[in-house]
């Protein structure tokens, strides 16, 4: 499916009545310290699986992949392995699909970051088998959703693939996340903070559609709200604990916010200008090569809240600055010489249907004004409270 399930003609299908309200979620979400070594037990007890494949990068296969393999073995399940290359692209998806079809697997366990999860979902869908996602970073909300962003082999967005179902199971070991880099967790917070502001925008605009092509439920918007509240309360402490490579209650809460709450909230609550702009930033090569999705989303949130003249603008900007997310264009390496590149970003943002989930006119001029207004606030906040956290993560 290249279109959302509930709006087959696209998000703004003409001549249709309003679509239903729909919320979508994975069958099981399991999170805790050390749960990785119980993966075999969960797979055996909850899924009828006899021959799973473990799908991860070369490094992932030799670390967390090995642990999952042993845990499956301890439960009497023999697995095969498949190595993720570098991109969630059609060529990579197709070649793995063929090899794994011949191997006769009945479940795919994707272990890694957002691109591994997205590739794994595509392969499992083609093989019509359940997919288990084991995130090793809390940098994106990819693990829980029923969609994958497919890239060109060069790494720019090609299309979004929608699936009839969310992953069967997500297993998040918070000890693994605690050992990953601080910048990944912080980027995940940027992606997660957008959830509430975008879902709330969609709830209040009857023309807006969520990623399923449907109207958002109150439940998914409430999930977005507690996601933002959790980040404001525990975000800094969680980043501190990852810096110290230690697990903590704050980290536990933020991992749930970045993975489950953000995942359910974005998919069923709906996206808006923040993600439309974030999707445009990779057009600028220096941004594409040096920044994470969640960092681009943070800049998108700055612009969206500016367009909405949101009372939360300053609070969000201060939070982003304290955890080290970019809040002005210079922090995204967009300085005076390449400022004109912002026009390319806006052009691409305007082509995304989610931009139209905003209730006000979204034009080149209004988006540019919003980006520049967000930039201005970001500079003012940086001047006032400094950029220590940003420098720590980016130098």
**Given the rule CB under 5 A, which residues bind Zn ion?**
191
Closest separation between CB of residue 293 and Zn ion, Å?
A: 6
Nearest to Zn ion of 118, 387 (CB atom): 118
369 C-beta neighbours (distance < 10 Å), count: 14
What residue spans of the chain are helical by DSSP H? Answer: 39-46, 58-62, 64-74, 90-103, 114-127, 174-179, 182-203, 218-243, 249-256, 262-264, 273-280, 285-290, 293-307, 313-323, 342-351, 364-385, 388-394
Q: In whole angstroms, how close is the CB of 284 to Zn ion at the nearest point?
A: 18
User: Considering the complex, what minimum distance in angstroms separates the CB of residue 78 from Zn ion?
Assistant: 36
Are 371 and 303 contacting, i.e. CB atoms less than 8 angstroms apart? yes
Reduced to 3 states (helix: H, G, I; strand: E, B; else coil), residue 134 is strand
Q: Residue 33 corresponds to which tokens in the numbers above?
A: 């310290």
User: 316 is written with which tokens?
Assistant: 């969000």
> Least distance (Å) from Zn ion to the CB of residue 4?
16
In angstroms, what is the minimal distance from the CB of 367 to Zn ion? 18
CB-wise, 109 or 196, nearer to Zn ion?
A: 196
Residues 321 and 389: beta-carbon distance below 8 Å: yes
Q: Which is nearer to Zn ion, 173 or 191 (CB)?
A: 191
Q: Is 19 left (phi over 0), alpha (psi -120 to 50) or beta?
A: beta
Q: Report the length, in residues, of the chain.
A: 395
Nearer to Zn ion, 118 or 173 (CB): 118
- CB closer to Zn ion, 65 vs 279: 279
Which residue, 265 or 324, has its beta carbon nearer to Zn ion? 265
Q: Nearest-CB residue to Zn ion?
A: 191
String of DSSP letters for 12-56: T-TT-PPPPB-----SEEEEETTGGGGHHHHHHHHS--SSEEEEE
Nearer Cβ to Zn ion, position 105 or 354? 354
Which is closer to Zn ion, CB of 191 or CB of 200? 191
Specify whether the CB–CB gap between 220 and 141 falls below 8 A. Answer: no
Q: How far is it, in rounded angstroms, from Cα 342 to Cα 284?
A: 8
Closest separation in Å from C-beta 3 to Zn ion: 19
CB 291 to Zn ion: min, Å: 13
CB of 145 to Zn ion, least distance (A): 10
* DSSP assignment letter at 158: E
């Amino acid at each position: 499916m290249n279109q959302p399930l509930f709006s087959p003609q696209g998000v703004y299908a003409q001549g249709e009545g309003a679509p239903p309200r729909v919320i979508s979620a994975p069958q099981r979400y399991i999170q805790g310290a050390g749960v990785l070594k119980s993966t075999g037990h969960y797979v055996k007890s909850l899924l009828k699986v006899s021959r799973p494949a473990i799908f991860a990068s070369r490094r992932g296969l030799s670390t967390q992949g090995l642990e999952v393999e042993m845990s499956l073995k301890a439960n009497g399940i023999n697995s095969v392995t498949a190595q993720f290359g570098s991109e969630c692209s059609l060529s990579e998806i197709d070649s793995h699909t063929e090899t794994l079809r011949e191997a006769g697997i009945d479940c795919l366990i994707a272990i890694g970051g957002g691109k591994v999860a997205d590739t794994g979902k595509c392969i499992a869908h083609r093989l019509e088998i359940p997919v288990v996602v084991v995130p090793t970073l809390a940098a994106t909300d990819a693990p829980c959703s029923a969609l994958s962003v497919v890239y060109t082999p060069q790494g720019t967005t090609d299309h979004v693939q929608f699936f009839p179902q969310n992953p069967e199971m997500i297993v998040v070991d918070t000890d693994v996340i605690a050992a990953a880099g601080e910048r990944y967790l912080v980027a995940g917070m940027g992606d997660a903070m957008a959830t509430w502001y975008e879902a709330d925008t969609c709830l209040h605009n009857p023309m807006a559609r969520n990623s399923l092509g449907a109207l958002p439920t109150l439940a998914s918007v409430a999930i977005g709200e507690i996601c933002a509240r959790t980040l404001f309360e525990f975000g800094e402490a969680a980043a501190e604990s990852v810096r110290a490579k230690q697990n903590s209650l704050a980290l536990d809460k933020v991992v749930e916010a970045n993975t489950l709450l953000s995942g359910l909230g974005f998919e069923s609550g709906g996206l808006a200008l923040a993600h439309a702009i974030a999707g445009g930033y990779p057009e600028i090569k220096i941004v594409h090569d040096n920044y994470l999705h969640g960092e681009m989303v943070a800049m998108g949130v700055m612009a969206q809240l500016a367009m909405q003249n949101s009372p939360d603008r300053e609070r969000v900007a201060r939070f982003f600055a304290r955890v080290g997310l970019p809040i002005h264009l210079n922090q995204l390496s967009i300085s005076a010489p390449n400022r004109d590149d912002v026009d390319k970003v806006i052009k691409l943002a305007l082509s995304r249907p989610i931009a139209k989930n905003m209730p006000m006119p979204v034009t080149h001029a209004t988006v540019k004004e919003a980006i520049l207004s967000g930039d201005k606030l970001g500079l003012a906040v940086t001047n006032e409270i400094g950029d220590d956290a940003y420098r720590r993560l980016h130098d």
